[in-house]
Structures are given as C-alpha cells and as structure tokens.
Amino acid sequence: MKNFAELEKKIGVKFNNPDLLTEAMTHRSFLNERLGEGIAQNERLEFLGDAVLELSVTNFLFSKFPEKPEGELTSLRAALVNSKMLFEVASKLKLEKYLRVSRGEAKDFGLSGQGKGKHYILANAVEAIVGAVYLDRGFEAADGFIIKQICSNLPDILENKLWRDAKSLFQERAQEIVGITPTYEVIEESGPDHNRHFVIGVYLEKEMIAKGEGFSKQEAQMQAAEKALKEKGWDE
C-alpha cells in the first residue's frame, strides 16, 4: 500500500479529498489488472494540470521579468515546463515510490531508471499532481506548489543557459558558418501509440551530426540539436 500521507508532506499539501492524490498517482496501466473496480487513472488530471502549470509559470515569469519581451519569456517557460525538467522534479520528490503502475510496467519502469517509459510517466505524474492540488485546494495552493518545486529551478536554467532553443541556435550557426540549413530524419520509432519513442538524426546535407531521442519528435529533435552544437563546437 502506498503511503500517500508521506507524499502529502513531501509536496507540502494536505488534501481534503485524498482520493485525488491517489488518482494523480495512478497510471493507466494499473487499471488493466483491476478491471471493473472503478479506479480512476491520472490522464484527466494531467490534462488539467498542464493548463494550470502553464498559467502559473507564465504569471511568475511575467511578474519577475517586466523588461523581457514575449519571445524570451516563452523560451524560459518552455525550459521550466518541458518533460526533462518535470522528470527532474519527479525524481527529487521520489515519485516512483508512490506511482501505481501495472506489474508489467513496473518491471520496465524499475527503480534503476533504465525503463525508457519512466521519464515520460513521471513527468506526466507531476502535471497530474498539479491538477489534483488545483481541484482540491484551488489555484493559490497549486501555484505555491509550482513555484516551490518548479520555478525554483529558474536560477539553474539562467546560469546554464538552458532556456536557449537548441534547434533554432543550431540552424543559425549552421547557416552562418557553413551555409547549410539542417534537416531532421526519424531513424527509429517504437512503443505503443500512447507512449511513442523516437530516435531522430540531425544532418548537414548528407552528414549526420548527432542523434537525439525522446517521447515526441520535437523532444528528440531538440536533443539532437543540443548534441550537434557540442559536436561542432558551436555551443558557446
């Protein structure tokens, strides 16, 4: 039995309706082994949490940086709410201890972190928690959780320039230095429809510079561009 009271302490929210936190921590695969039990999974809360998260982070950045234009604010927001950052938040909270998944998913998921679906599942669980907090305690409580757990990563993003759009930067560098516009091709695609995994290569003409992977084409392209910038020495 998962200790959700312990999780409440970690996230700093005491739920009026603890069933919402249980739902947030229930992956769709968990239902496959408990058909007919009326258990709710977390995809609806994830959908809601995604919208609350975007509003909260937008408001935070808008207030903090009155001098920054829309484009820079958009890049900072993307760096704060992308799946990689949400996975890091989930790891810090040790959400893998509390997530309810099927036995088969748990085998791939693993505490070692090697299961390729772990990143995607845990990032979504953070959004589901945001949705659950919003429904149970309102926007102010959800906003407090987001600022403490997610917006607190902003100094690291600024220091390490993680807000940069690697794909746009690689294109700018490639056009400026070698006069070529990069192209991206899917090398491998696997996994079920709800959890696709992509491996994508970035090319300068016919030469593949680097490969990236992720749970969306955009994520894989971004990782490929980041690696390509380092490979070419264009990341400074």
Q: Are residues 183 and 146 in the same domain?
A: no
| 56 and 82, same domain (yes or no) | yes
Residues 221, 107 share a domain: no
pLDDT at 164: 74
Q: Are residues 100 and 171 in the same domain?
A: no
Give strand pairing partners of 183. Answer: 203
Rounded to the nearest 10 degrees, what angle do helices 83-93 and 139-149 cross at?
90
CA distance 59 to 222: 25
CATH number at residue 189: 3.30.160.20
In DSSP terms, which residues pair with 184 in a beta bridge? 202
Give the H or E element holding residue 54: helix 43-64
Q: Name which residue leads in pLDDT, 112 or 222.
A: 222
If asked whether residues 136 and 224 sit together in one domain, one would say no
Q: Which of the listed residues 116, 140, 159 is the one where a domain comes to its end?
A: 159
pLDDT digits 0-9 by tens, 46-70? 999 999 999 999 999 999 999 999 9
Number of domains in the chain: 2
Give the Cα separation of 151 and 81 in Å (integer).
Answer: 9
- What pLDDT digit, counting tens, does each position of 171-207 carry? 989 999 999 999 999 999 998 776 788 999 999 999 9
Which of 108, 137, 159 represents a domain boundary (last residue)? 159
Domain end among 159, 188, 217: 159
Q: Are 221 and 167 in contact (CB under 8 A)?
A: yes
Cα-Cα end-to-end distance for the chain: 49
User: Are 10 and 66 within one domain?
Assistant: yes
- Catalytic residue IDs: 50, 127
Neighbours of 3 (CB within 10 A): 10
Give the whole-angstrom CA distance, residue 115 versus residue 42: 20
pLDDT of amino acid 120: 83
CATH code assigned at 18: 1.10.1520.10
In 110-216, which ranges are continuous DSSP H helix?
118-137, 139-149, 154-159, 166-177
The mean pLDDT value for 74-95 works out to: 90
* Mean pLDDT for all residues in the chain: 89
Residue 154 shares a structural domain with residue 209: no
> What is the helix (H) or strand (E) element at residue 219, kind and residue range?
helix 217-232
Task: Please give the residue range of the domain that contains residue 34.
Answer: 4-159
In the numeric block, which tokens belong to residue 24?
Answer: 């947030």
Strand partners, 208: 203
Using the structure block, give the residue that is written with the tokens 């003409």. 205
Gap between the Cα atoms of 89 and 11, Å rounded: 11
Q: Are residues 57 and 86 in contact, defined by beta-carbon separation less than 8 angstroms?
A: no
The residue-averaged pLDDT of 131-159 equals: 96
Question: 9 with 96, same domain?
Answer: yes
Structure confidence at residue 37 (pLDDT):
65
CB 141 within 8 A of CB 149: no
Same domain, 186 and 155: no
